[in-house]
Chains A and B, each alone.
Chain A
Amino acid sequence: MPSRQTTNETLSSTDRRVAALAPGPPVNIATGQAADPGAGEREVTFRLEGVSVRYGEALAVKDVTMDIHHKDITALIGPSGCGKSTLLRCLNRMNDLIPSARVSGRLWYHGEDVYGPKVDPVQVRKLIGMVFQKPNPFPKSIYDNVAFGPRTTGMKGDMDEIVERALRSAALWDEVKDRLKENAYGMSGGQQQRLCIARCIATEPDVILMDEPCSALDPISTARIEDLMHELKEQYTIVIVTHNMQQAARVSDRTAFFTAEVDEATDVRTGVLVEYDRTEKVFSNPGDERTENYVTGRFG
């Protein structure tokens, strides 16, 4: 890999480098909601302070405070409708595409306010890539799928090399090297999802967000993607939303458990963060009864 600019690339579309980063906000542990395990151990990639998301009037996620660490795999788990995906989509401003969505609270990325006035969502998404629940390759050739991002960002270098490197990183090269010009829709679901990961890697992001990346895949394809995540962890910070608790336990370093609070009057489900800790701790010795009920399969 070429030297990767991790921390000195800013989210603003202007080329102006922010020399003086926003002052590091203090972690609000006072809420007791998100005790920050091992704070200071590792560089913080995302710092969420009281992040809430509304769709119109409905509160989808309430007051989430947590730190997401550099080169960790952080899993967001919890029952349906607990706002995991919504929260994930805040991290790279994908929620901007939904007109009614409103994000409040503070969200810092390496000390820069992701929702700051000078921040360009297009630039945010160049640095923070995303893999979706349903594999969504473009109806183009395998090569063009991978080359799409680098062409978009105007990346310099030999495109063939960039494509090969990305496909190798996604453990897909050997399977597709002889049919790069074929349409991506001829691939199996698992291959398509790895192609989407390759497509994401090709733009050289710092962070990869994964929104239930294996929920549409069979167990063998799932295992391959989990292996891949372990390899990618060397280079990328990964945040994964999953319904599959075993998957969270297998792949992640830290796990955040969310649950939904239902407003009886309006029937609106609001996601709240219950517990966030090292994955071993969450699964073996959870601090909250609701987490324990969930991870032991008594609920959800």
Chain B
Amino acid sequence: MSHAYELVVSGVGAPRPRRTLEATSPRRGEKVVQASLAACAVLSVLVTTAIVVSLLTPTIGFFREVSIVEFLTSTTWAPAFARPSFGVWPIVVGTLMVVFFALIVAIPIGLACAVYLSEYASRRVRGVVKPVLEVLEGIPTVATGLFAFFFLTPLAKQILPFLPWQGPFSIGVAGVAVGLLIVPLVSSVSDDAMRSVPAGLREGAYALGANKLRVTTRVVFPAAISGVVAAVVLGTSRAIGETMVVLIAAGAGNPNLSFDPTKGIQTMTAYIGGRATGDIAMGTIVYDTIFAVGTLLFIMTLSMNMLAIRLVRRFREVYE
């Protein structure tokens, strides 16, 4: 390929050789890179599809034996009993209670944290707090679960002794622990969204005699709302799917329908996590239930995300 260029440097005044417009090399490397990137993209789609299919096959088997009406309307969850009952509501309520308590903790703390970091904190404070938050995101959930069981629950019993506590498990405490777990996620994503609001908007508001609180609440926060909603939805999905913390702090027992936060209540994930151990017999109805519950979880997070996308489209303040 170098022959085309050799003559160019051969001397001043020498006639320039005509250079061709055709490619000087087949550039195979470029095609290889493109193909391997495409393969990765296809692979991730395939894996996702495979997960859904592997969930659905046993789920279909389950619904051949149990009517979908019973699954969704009955309020007794006793799949392994001699006279089994397959009403999924008790464990759905367990999951929803975890989400409820988690969001009660995570939304105010997470957003306050984000507002502080993005608008109030000096560069030095931010330089310390932000990385610490990001490290907290990586704490193993089993550690958070132990923290909830051995520290938060006794603490809650001390602070609120008038509540009817019974046994070591509490769905409310588990929810609060999950909330603490997702605070870094909510605050970090919201903080990024608020910081990406153009500085010009802040200046415009300050120039009208607005104080910091007003600039933050009336200009920056609304402009960042789509990112903030995304943060809350991510947190919610995480709370729905959280297994280890609820398994430890809320226990895998008691599938009775209850709204009492001081009780240990089984969640959907805790049911799956508790059941899906080595001694479960494949092809039995109990085996199939974990997939049915898994599919329902998947549908819940999916509709959650779709709802969020619609909300974001509707309330987004578009700048540019």
Interface contact B318-A185, CB-CB below 8 Å: yes
Contact of A125 among B198, B208, B218 (CB under 8 A): B208
Interface contact A136-B201, CB-CB below 8 Å: yes
User: Which bucket holds chain B's interface residue count?
Assistant: 20 to 34
User: Is B319 among interface residues, defined by CB-CB distance under 8 A?
Assistant: yes
Write the A85-125 contact mask toward B (1 if CB under 8 angstroms, else 0). 00000001010010100000000000000000000001101
Residues from chain A with a CB closer than 8 A to the CB of B319 are 139, 185
Residues from chain A with a CB closer than 8 A to the CB of B122 are 99
Q: A99-B123, A185-B320 are in contact. Are A138 and B206 (CB under 8 A)?
A: no
Residues from chain B with a CB closer than 8 A to the CB of A152 are 208-210, 214, 218
Residues 62 to 108 of chain B near chain A (Cβ within 8 Å): none
Q: How far is the CB of A90 from chain B (nearest CB, A)?
A: 13
The CA-CA distance from A126 to B208 in the complex, in Å, is 6
User: Is A149 among interface residues, defined by CB-CB distance under 8 A?
Assistant: yes
User: Is A130 among interface residues, defined by CB-CB distance under 8 A?
Assistant: yes
User: Is A224 among interface residues, defined by CB-CB distance under 8 A?
Assistant: no
Residues from chain A with a CB closer than 8 A to the CB of B318 are 139, 183, 185
The CA-CA distance from A152 to B319 in the complex, in Å, is 21
The CA-CA distance from A123 to B209 in the complex, in Å, is 6
Contact of B205 among A92, A126, A148, A185 (CB under 8 A): A148
Interface contact A200-B210, CB-CB below 8 Å: no
Residues from chain A with a CB closer than 8 A to the CB of B208 are 125-126, 129, 148-149, 152, 199-200, 203
Residues from chain B with a CB closer than 8 A to the CB of A55 are none
The CA-CA distance from A204 to B319 in the complex, in Å, is 26
Write the A64-101 contact mask toward B (1 if CB under 8 angstroms, else 0). 00000000000000000000000000001010010100
Write the A122-146 contact mask toward B (1 if CB under 8 angstroms, else 0). 1101110110101011111000000
Contact of A203 among B201, B209, B211, B222 (CB under 8 A): B209
Q: A136-B198, A138-B219 are in contact. Are A129 and B317 (CB under 8 A)?
A: no
User: Is A196 among interface residues, defined by CB-CB distance under 8 A?
Assistant: yes
Contact of B203 among A99, A123, A136 (CB under 8 A): A136
Residues from chain A with a CB closer than 8 A to the CB of B205 are 138, 148
Q: How far is the CB of B267 from chain A (nearest CB, A)?
A: 39
Residues from chain B with a CB closer than 8 A to the CB of A185 are 318-320
The CA-CA distance from A108 to B71 in the complex, in Å, is 77
Please give me the residue from chain B that is nearest to A153 by CB atom. B209
The CA-CA distance from A107 to B214 in the complex, in Å, is 27
Interface contact B207-A94, CB-CB below 8 Å: yes
User: Is B182 among interface residues, defined by CB-CB distance under 8 A?
Assistant: no
Residues from chain B with a CB closer than 8 A to the CB of A148 are 205, 208, 210, 218
The CA-CA distance from A123 to B222 in the complex, in Å, is 24
Residues from chain B with a CB closer than 8 A to the CB of A199 are 204, 208
User: Is B200 among interface residues, defined by CB-CB distance under 8 A?
Assistant: yes
User: Is B223 among interface residues, defined by CB-CB distance under 8 A?
Assistant: yes
Interface contact B200-A136, CB-CB below 8 Å: yes
The CA-CA distance from A139 to B201 in the complex, in Å, is 9
Q: How far is the CB of A142 from chain B (nearest CB, A)?
A: 14
The CA-CA distance from A148 to B217 in the complex, in Å, is 12
Q: A138-B219, A139-B223, A139-B317 are in contact. Are A94 and B206 (CB under 8 A)?
A: yes
Please give me the residue from chain A that is nearest to B200 by CB atom. A136
Please give me the residue from chain A that is nearest to B218 by CB atom. A148
Residues from chain B with a CB closer than 8 A to the CB of A99 are 122-123
Interface contact A125-B219, CB-CB below 8 Å: no
Please give me the residue from chain A that is nearest to B209 by CB atom. A126
The CA-CA distance from A185 to B320 in the complex, in Å, is 7
Please give me the residue from chain A that is nearest to B214 by CB atom. A152
Q: How far is the CB of B266 from chain A (nearest CB, A)?
A: 45
Residues 297 to 320 of chain B near chain A (Cβ within 8 Å): 317-320
Q: How far is the CB of B285 from chain A (nearest CB, A)?
A: 54
Q: How far is the CB of A89 from chain B (nearest CB, A)?
A: 9
Write the B178-220 contact mask toward A (1 if CB under 8 angstroms, else 0). 0000000000000000000010111111111111001000110
Considering the complex of A and B, which 3 residue pairs feature the smallest CB-CB distances, nearest first? Answer: A126-B209, A139-B317, A136-B200
11 pairs, CB–CB < 8 Å, chain A vs chain B: A97-B202, A122-B209, A122-B210, A122-B211, A132-B207, A138-B223, A139-B222, A139-B317, A139-B318, A148-B205, A149-B208
A residues sitting closer than 8 Å to B (CB atoms) are: 92, 94, 97, 99, 122-123, 125-127, 129-130, 132, 134, 136-140, 148-149, 152-153, 183, 185, 196, 199-200, 203
